Structure 1
Amino acid sequence: MGSQSNNRIFIFLGAFLAVAVLAVVIAVPLALSQNNVNGGDAAINILTEVPIIDGHNDWPYQLRRHLQNKINDIDFMTQNFSELYNGSHTDVPRMKIGKMGAQFWSCYCACAAGGKDAVRLGIEQIDVVRRYTEANPLIFQFTTTADEIMAANKEGKIACLIGIEGGHMIDSSLAALRTLFNLGTRYMTLTHSCDTPWATAFNTQ
């Protein structure tokens, strides 16, 4: 009896979900057509009101990997990094077209640097983010709070924030963590692909 009752519940839920999905599939295009708005225009309208906040971008690592952080001669507004450098999917023109509101730039170094020079490499990554942000004030604005993000967006700028990718980059030092925070870091993932003395990575057996 209980099994039959459960089956009826699952059948009912399945039918309800199917009807709900069908309603959305029909209603959304109908609403857009009635308002003479295509999907692309609707997306742009939404992103103008509620800009995207991207939580992870390895661009600083690509700048270190390909340019050794030598960025003084780079035109960030026109340079297509995704065509120049294999592994990069970022360039400012597409960020602007896509209505990127805020970007967390991820500062990263390999796990092999843990316990050696990871803290220094992290600071160098933060430094390059601060440098290209300050060198391009018409494009970027360095931010650390939600209010600052909103203020940057009102001026048509991409808000720049910093994240640290992996706890190995603080060398188990709270002093290092506080220093990275004072330099503008606003998140740190506990691990990357290696354990720390205080956290276990996803790939540990």
Structure 2
Amino acid sequence: MADLQDELHSLPEAGDHEAHDEAPDEARHARREGSRAPGPQTPAEADDDLDRARAVLAAHPVADGYSGLPWALRHLSWYDLQLGETAVDTDVPRLREGHVGALLWSLHLPEGLAADRAVGATLEQLDLVRSVIAAHPEGLRLALSAGQVIDARNCGRVAVVLGPATAAALDDSLGILRALHFLGLRVLTLTGASWASGAGLTRFGEEVVREMNRLGVLADLSGASDTTVRRAVALSKTPVLCTRSAARALRPHPDNLPDDLLAELGAAKGLCLVPLTAEQTGPSVRDVADHLDHVRALAGPDSVGLSGTFDSGTAHPQGLADASGYPHLIAELLRRGWPETDVALLTWGNIQRVLRSADFAARAAQERREPSTARIAHLDG
């Protein structure tokens, strides 16, 4: 395979294209103030916004930061994602209609699963997703790096990145972390383990983050305590993700982030992926857009992304019930005066940057750091 740097040059980066912000002055003012442009829309104006949204997404598709599809498929005896599958929120036709170019497939386990089953259940999930991808080669392609995500898009496939998985899947073993990475894992959620609790990261937890950096596994901090988030942001040599976090100031959900952490995440060039769930962001497209406005204002346009959270057992805002609804959300953002450069970062560019950073940092770290042999009993005992 060609060098990663050559692969990345096959497509322009979001923000490098020559899109111009053609919003009128009042829309720019609305964007600065965090509010929508005034005045009701006519049907023709709504259609124009939707057409413009589809054109932007054709050039800069959605990299969806969280899909619960793998676990949902476990309960189906038969399915066909290529032709369409009404039993789930996600299939290839709806991904194409929604202009989705990449998905992070969650390997999270259901609550209540016995701790001693976490490793085995995660391996079963990995086996399932590889089988699903292999069974749908015309629509899906496994991607293990930023370059492979771009390759999949160039070939007209939806790139599938494996993760996040739950921290319990490591069973407090860095050897298991390396094995999961070898099998394709690229994102790990730092919650649900003794070494990443409300008190923050322990010494072993910090070693887990260092080994993740060495491997190129991204840290997902959604659901982590504020102390853990701050320590992981400070410690990690690669940008961190919050795969399912919106603005706590707008909706006081425990997985949403307070304003100070959003600002810290932005300063560290991390990425807050705003979930399309009624519980975390609200019941309408406008509510989701309000959260995106808020996160963008505090963390910056380089640190906000999208997380469909489809097939995860949660209700979604009206108009965003499945993976086909993204053009309606992007049309709302364009109507609010978001420049196309910022939309391109939101949908595609920011996830690409984070994946690319993980690839480069891992290559550098592997030249100077051997695989860690640390054990939890030695550091936290």
- Shorter-chain TM-score: what band? 0.7 to 0.9
Over the matched positions of the two proteins, sequence identity in percent amounts to: 30
Relative distance call for 1:186 and 1:22 in structure 2 (3 A) is closer
Are residues 1:198 and 2:208 paired? no
CA contact (8 A) 1:111 1:168 kept: no
Bigger RCO (CA 8 Å, 6+ sep): 2
CA contact (8 A) 2:104 2:164 kept: no
- Deviation string for 1:124-154 (max 9, x for gaps)? 1111111111111110111011111111111
Q: Highest CA radius of gyration, 1 or 2?
A: 1
Cα separation, 2, equivalents of 1:79 and 1:150: 24
Cα separation, 1, equivalents of 2:84 and 2:70: 15
Cα separation, 2, equivalents of 1:94 and 1:76: 9
CA contact (8 A) 2:27 2:37 kept: no
- Aligned residue type for 2:60: V
Are residues 1:75 and 2:80 paired? yes
For residues 44-193 of structure 1, the aligned pairs below 5 Å read 44-64=54-74, 66-67=75-76, 73-81=78-86, 84=87, 88-113=88-113, 115-191=115-191
- Aligned residue type for 1:20: H
Cα separation, 2, equivalents of 1:200 and 1:90: 33
Cα separation, 2, equivalents of 1:42 and 1:182: 41
Q: How many residues align?
A: 170
- Aligned residue type for 1:186: R
Cα separation, 1, equivalents of 2:59 and 2:31: 28
State the SS of the aligned residue for 2:163: strand
Cα separation, 2, equivalents of 1:148 and 1:92: 19
Unpaired runs of 5+ residues, structure 1, are 1-16
Relative distance call for 1:21 and 1:187 in structure 2 (3 A) is same
Relative distance call for 1:113 and 1:169 in structure 2 (3 A) is farther
Q: TM-score under structure 1 normalisation? A: 0.72
Relative distance call for 1:127 and 1:20 in structure 2 (3 A) is same
Unpaired runs of 5+ residues, structure 2, are 1-25, 199-222, 226-381
Q: Which deviates more from structure 2 when the two are superposed, residues 106-115 or residues 162-171? A: 106-115
